[in-house]
Amino acid sequence: MIKNKNAIITGGARGIGKEIARTLAENGANIAINYRNFNDEIKAFVEELNSMGAKVLTFKCDVSNEEEVEAFVNEVKNVFGSIDILVNNAGITKDGLLIRMSEKDFSDVIDVNLKGTFNMTKAVSSIMVRQRFGKIINISSVVGVAGNAGQCNYAASKAGVIGFSKSIARELASRNINVNVIAPGYINTDMTKVLPDRVKEEVLKTIPMKKIGEPREIANLALFLSSDLSNYITGQVINVDGGMVMH
Ligand code: NDP
């Protein structure tokens, strides 16, 4: 399905992004991931992906920095020759109620989650347009669809990712580039581990399936959206959330 396709997964060294990278590599793709600080976990992960037969490229890049993004994307194009799949997964939270939220906490989250997605997509789409092929998958959140008290910055960034994706899906459709959004619910990663038990219990009550999702559940949809099986799907937002938010 995606054998020998070249994929960039931002934030691919941890959590959901790592599982997406692993799943795409298991299915034959070559993998490029960025990091902010190289560490032993990333080194071991590269070895794991190599052992599956994947070519792997790692590059220091903060997605909110346009120059670093351009350098990263150029390096992937030079080393791999093409960029077939882009997964904009890197994201952060800086939670707080609106009345107590600093402008910096608002801007930081927008800069990484929304501007980072813009920076990466702009740089990669010019390559995909020339190739007349591409699969772009943006990771939003059910919070971007439904809102969440204490996360107005995060919800705005993730709602922004949805509007951005629908717009570029329209711009790029005629160039054989699909753009879709995955909106995960509550997934078991570092991002959610830090939440107090009280909050986790409240969240569980809102999930009809009564369980927290695993990164593989997001990765399975990313694989489908990366593959030819999803060729007639573009501009869509698909929730993976155990039924937490229904449209
Ligand atoms: P993690 O916190 O586990 O991982 C986040 C990843 O993003 C890390 O690899 C991190 O790199 C990277 N990253 C953060 N900031 C930047 C930056 N400025 N430039 C480059 N990379 C950066 O998060 P999750 O795996 O849980 O989340 C992945 C995505 O899924 C995010 O977009 C998140 O909003 C979304 N999501 C997660 C949900 C969940 O329940 N976990 C629910 C809904 C959506 P580093 O190691 O350098 O920090």
| pLDDT at 5 (0 to 100) | 98
* pLDDT beneath 50: ranges in the chain: none
CA-CA distance, 182 to 166, in Å (whole number)? 12
| pLDDT at 163 (0 to 100) | 98
CA-CA distance, 121 to 119, in Å (whole number)? 6
Q: Is 211 in the pocket of ligand 1 (CB under 6 A)?
A: no
Atom of ligand 1 nearest to the CA of 184: 43
Distance 90 CA to ligand 1 centre (A): 4
Distance 79 CA to ligand 1 centre (A): 25
Residue identified by tokens 């989650």 is 113
Q: Is 153 in the pocket of ligand 1 (CB under 6 A)?
A: no
Distance 174 CA to ligand 1 centre (A): 31
Q: Is 139 in the pocket of ligand 1 (CB under 6 A)?
A: yes
State the Cα angle at 130 between 127 and 132, rounded to 5°.
105
| pLDDT at 247 (0 to 100) | 80
CA-CA distance, 234 to 225, in Å (whole number)? 9
> Nearest to residue 245, comparing CAs of 184, 157, 158?
184
Q: Is 134 in the pocket of ligand 1 (CB under 6 A)?
A: no
| pLDDT at 20 (0 to 100) | 98
Please report, for the chain, the start and end positions of each structural domain, with discontinuous segments joined by +.
6-239
Query: CATH code for 6-239?
Result: 3.40.50.720
pLDDT per residue over 25-41, tens digit each?
999 999 999 999 999 99
Sheet architecture: strand order including 85-88:
56-60, 30-35, 6-9, 85-88, 134-139, 177-184, 237-240
pTM of the model: 0.98
> Nearest to residue 27, comparing CAs of 57, 49, 58?
49
| pLDDT at 1 (0 to 100) | 86
Active site includes 232? no
